[in-house]
Each structure stands twice: as structure tokens, then as C-alpha cells.
Structure 1
């Protein structure tokens, strides 16, 4: 394996993941709610939907890396799964932690949290993939966690639990806003 090439892929990946997440944030609005945009974009301004776009962008980049690099498969998968879970937890925890100090209107802080989450996740996956330790032994549990992630990922947008994590911070609704609801009126009603 070419370590320098893989390191450069991880660096490029950080830019790719953040850029794709930025695009996915707006794809639902740009496509008027197509099925693709529901599954891969942010359908509202909940913490989950804003985390989801980073997670799918990270997973897509992981597939690209796997196809173009000559990396050991099992440690690579373990590293990417650790990275995806770290990213999700980091974004969610840091969002709620900073909202205690900054309040609800913290777009700049959320962007910074996303950037740091991407960078840290790339570092984690890089170190695990190239580690001398036997991370291949964690391959089967990683596949289980990856499957669990995919189930949660594709379920929570369409069938969100009624918890704060899934509540749209601007409208107060969960999941996809029904067509009959005027979003502007919902925002004013939620203030």
C-alpha cells in the first residue's frame, strides 16, 4: 500500500465530505422533495438531518477511497465505521453543548463543528487503517454497526422518533414537512 497516496486521499476526502454535505443540505429544496433528496439530503433543520448529510457524504467518500486505494480491507472498514460513529456523536454532542452557550441561532458554530467532525473522523479512519494493531478482528462487529447505521439512516428521516434530536428547530415539526403546512406560518407559530 502506498501510505502517502492514502494520506492524500484522506486529506482530499475532508474537502470532498464537507463540500458534498453542503450540497446535500440544500438538495431537498432544490429538487422539490424527490425521493433521492429525501434519502440523501436534509429535509428539515433538525440536528439529525444536519448530521445525516455529513454521515452520508463520509460514507460515499469511503466507497471512493476503497475503490481507488490499495488498502487492507478489514482495517479500512473498521476505521471508516469508527469514523462515521465518531462523526455522528461529535456533531450531535457538540451542537447541544454549544447551544447551551450560544443559543439556537448558531449556523457558524454548526459549520465549524461539521468541519472539525470531518477532520477528526478522517484522522481516526487513517490511523486505524494503517495501524499495526489487529483491527481486522473487529471487522464483524463493524459490519453489524454499519448495518445498524444504514437502518437508522434510512428510517429516521421518514419515521423520526418524537425526540428533540429529530425536531426541526425552525418549524417544530418532525421529519418531512407535510405539503398542507405553510412553513412560514409554522415558523411564526413556533416562535
Structure 2
């Protein structure tokens, strides 16, 4: 059973890495189609890079809950917990290394994304293996967190708060490019 879970998690990690990378470009590839903006990065802000981790994770979660949800009664609570940790890793790692260096490096930005992805799925695997967080209220809370995050990533694409996390450092603007 752990071996099967390991391969599902490894597949989730790989799918998130590949889809997240592609979603970095789909908004521009689509001719800046407003529908693509809902799930693609629309600028170079940290928030939009967090969206690149979450959107593929959300899609992977939909698939995995169909195949693993009955086997792991704690699936939704665990996935919500690991998603929050993965999302927190992106700004934590990015702002830490850029704060130390004073500038950013493309290869380090990619490494931050991959480390957040890896950390998310390693935590997911460990928490699913323990069987904890299986109460019904925890599953409902996990589902609400995942859908709440999905809503926020779409909402803040079109109505970003004026906070540093949402600022595109290349254009010094917020949200969709003008």
C-alpha cells in the first residue's frame, strides 16, 4: 500500500512540476485570453508563482481523490495541509535567498518552485501514511481550504491587493498587464 501511495505522490510531484512550468507561459501563448489568466501566471509576482504550484496541485488532487480518497480517509485534510506548506515555502525560500543575495537568479527561482513542490508531496506522503486527520470535520475543512485557495488565486488575479506579494517586479504593477 505504501508503494502504491509513493508512486501516486511521485506522479503528483512530476505532474505539478511540468504543468506548473507550462502554466508560466500559457497566458501569453493564449494571446492574453482572460480565461487563461484565471489559471496561468499573468505576471512575475510571487503570488502568481504560487498559483503555478497550486493550480496543478488542485488538478492532481481531483484525480487522486477519485483513486485514493476511499483508501485514505484523511486525504483532503492532508492535501490541504501540504498545499499550505508548499505555498508558504515559495515566498519563504524566495525572499530568504533574495534577501541574502540582494538579487534573484533564474535557476534559484526554478529550484524554489521545485523544492516547494517536493516539500509539499513529501509532507503529503508522510501525513497520508500516518492515517491521522481522518475525522469528517477535518475532511470538510480540507475541502473548504482547497476550494478557498482556488477562489483566492482566481480572485486576486483580477483584483490583487496592493501588497508586495502581488507586485510584479518587472513592471512595478499589480495584476493583469495593461
Shift of residue 150, structure 1, vs aligned partner: 2.2
Correspondence for 1:170: 170
Q: Whole-Å Cα distance in 2 between the matches of residues 7 and 71 of structure 1?
A: 16
Structure 1 alignment gaps of length 5 or more? 179-191
Aligned residues: 177
Q: Whole-Å Cα distance in 2 between the matches of residues 93 and 166 of structure 1?
A: 15
Higher Rg of the two aligned structures: 1
Alignment of 1:153 onto 2:141: no
Q: Whole-Å Cα distance in 2 between the matches of residues 120 and 87 of structure 1?
A: 6
Please tell me whether the aligned partners of residues 128 and 135 of structure 1 are also in contact (alpha carbons under 8 angstroms): no
SS in 2 for 1:40: coil
CA change 1:83–1:134 in 2 (3 A) is closer
Q: Runs ≥4 in structure 1, deviation > 6 angstroms? A: none
Q: Whole-Å Cα distance in 2 between the matches of residues 90 and 96 of structure 1?
A: 10
Please tell me whether the aligned partners of residues 77 and 139 of structure 1 are also in contact (alpha carbons under 8 angstroms): yes
Correspondence for 1:102: 101
Q: TM-score normalised to the size of structure 1?
A: 0.85
RMSD: 1.7
Please tell me whether the aligned partners of residues 58 and 146 of structure 2 are also in contact (alpha carbons under 8 angstroms): no
Please tell me whether the aligned partners of residues 42 and 176 of structure 2 are also in contact (alpha carbons under 8 angstroms): yes
Q: Whole-Å Cα distance in 1 between the matches of residues 35 and 124 of structure 2?
A: 27
Shift of residue 10, structure 1, vs aligned partner: 0.5
Q: TM-score normalised to the size of structure 2?
A: 0.91
Correspondence for 1:3: 2
Pick which of 57-66 and 143-152 moved more.
143-152
Pick which of 143-152 and 162-171 moved more.
143-152
Structure 2 alignment gaps of length 5 or more? none
Q: Whole-Å Cα distance in 2 between the matches of residues 147 and 12 of structure 1?
A: 22
